[in-house]
Amino acid sequence: MGLAIVVALSVGIWWRNYKSADISATKPAILANPAHTAASTSRPEFQKLIGRWQRPDGGYVFEVKSVAADGAMEAAYFNPKSMRVAKAEASRDGDALKAFIELRDVNYPGSTYTLTDDPASDLLKGIYYQAAEKQRFEVTFLRMK
């Protein structure tokens, strides 16, 4: 009887975590919280990154929810389920707007995206480093409308 209760609780906890990690394409993005709002407005060029971006070669989605003045991004990544984003930062390199995302999840032990904004085409272009395979790939993200 005790084992059945433990198994039932374990399955229930797993199911709740599994469902909360899933995201639907229609779920609205969470806007910057009030603590970040004042800070984020001091770097308006970073605000261009806010939104959902999709890689056309596989449907991978990168979502920027907010960007603080120091470049710290509140971000999410979906492949197609939610994956843990360990680090997400925006920066400037001369006139170029950049985004860096580090993933730390199962089969993604430090995989990274190093992206540059292409303002003429509203794309993010750059390099995806697949850490498990130690391979680099050129990638492009399109803004989702």
Residue 105 structural domain: 25-143
Q: So what's the pLDDT on residue 26? A: 31
Strand order in the sheet with 82-83: 82-83, 73-78, 61-67, 51-54, 135-143, 123-130, 108-118, 96-105, 85-93
* 125 domain-assigned: yes
Q: What is the pLDDT of residues 71-91, one digit of tens each?
A: 999 999 999 999 999 999 999
Instruction: Identify the CATH number of the domain in which residue 78 sits.
Output: 2.40.128.30
Q: So what's the pLDDT on residue 44? A: 87
Average pLDDT, whole number, for the chain?
79
25's tokens? 């394409």
Report how far residue 55's alpha carbon sits from residue 61's, in angstroms, rounded to the nearest whole number.
6
Between 81 and 10, name the one with better pLDDT: 81
Q: What is the pTM of this model?
A: 0.71
* 16 domain-assigned: no
Q: So what's the pLDDT on residue 101? A: 98
Give the burial class of 36: count Cβ atoms within 10 A of its Cβ; 0-12 exposed, 13-18 middle, 19 or more buried. middle
* 9 domain-assigned: no
* 8 domain-assigned: no
CB atoms within 10 A of CB 143: 14
* 10 domain-assigned: no
* 82 domain-assigned: yes
Q: What is the pLDDT of residues 94-118, one digit of tens each?
A: 999 999 999 999 989 999 999 999 9
* 64 domain-assigned: yes
Provide CB contacts within 8 A for 15, sequence distance 6+: none
Largest CA distance in the chain: 66
Q: Considering the chain, what percentage of its residues have pLDDT values greater than 70?
A: 71
* 13 domain-assigned: no
Q: Considering the chain, what percentage of its residues have pLDDT values greater than 90?
A: 66
For the chain, the domain total comes to 1
Residue 37 has pLDDT above 80, yes or no: no
